[in-house]
Amino acid sequence: MPIHLPPLSRRRFLASSAAAAAGLLLPGRSWGADALAPAGGTPVDPDRLALLSDIHVAADPAAVNRGVNMADHLAAAVRAVLDGPARPAGLLVNGDLAYNAGLPGDYATVLAGLAPVRAAGVPVHLTLGNHDDRANFFRAL
């Protein structure tokens, strides 16, 4: 997906700079940080974001490719995200969720693997890559 960055005019630059300066004057806590904190649970670090990239999970959680079981790797990464002293404010899974061709079962396995993160109240953001099939992805959701 191409990303276009338009040229900045002097007026737009000054307006953006003024908005950034105003943001520096706000209190140190992030807005919404209180909304992220679970009652009596592990605290949420509003400045922490967990990133997983190219997870390539197959429909069969036991599938192995090149000596690697990606579903097991996803489970280990999810445990690492949740076992820290503070939960992240969000989890971003960047591209290539599916193993190879974006089969519906791939996404079911991905969602099952991410279930502990969602159950812990951490927002999950997913982006798709060249191995993903958008139609199958949206059907799985």
pLDDT in tens, 30-65: 444 444 555 557 889 999 999 999 999 999 999 998
> Within 13 Å of residue 115, how many CA atoms lie on the same side as its CB?
7
Question: Position 52: which residue type?
Answer: L
Measured distance CA(10)–CA(27) in Å, rounded: 29
The reported pLDDT for the residue numbered 1 is: 44
3-state secondary structure of 51: strand
pLDDT in tens, 111-137: 999 999 999 999 999 999 999 999 999
Measured distance CA(77)–CA(83) in Å, rounded: 10
3-state secondary structure of 61: coil
138, 105 contact by CB (below 8 A): no
pLDDT in tens, 70-112: 999 999 999 999 998 899 999 999 989 999 899 999 999 999 9
Q: Is the pTM of the predicted complex or chain greater than 0.85? A: no
Instruction: Kindly give, in sequence order, each residue whose CB lies less than 8 Å from that of residue 57, ignoring residues fewer than 6 positions away.
Output: 70, 71, 74, 97, 98, 99, 106, 109, 110, 113
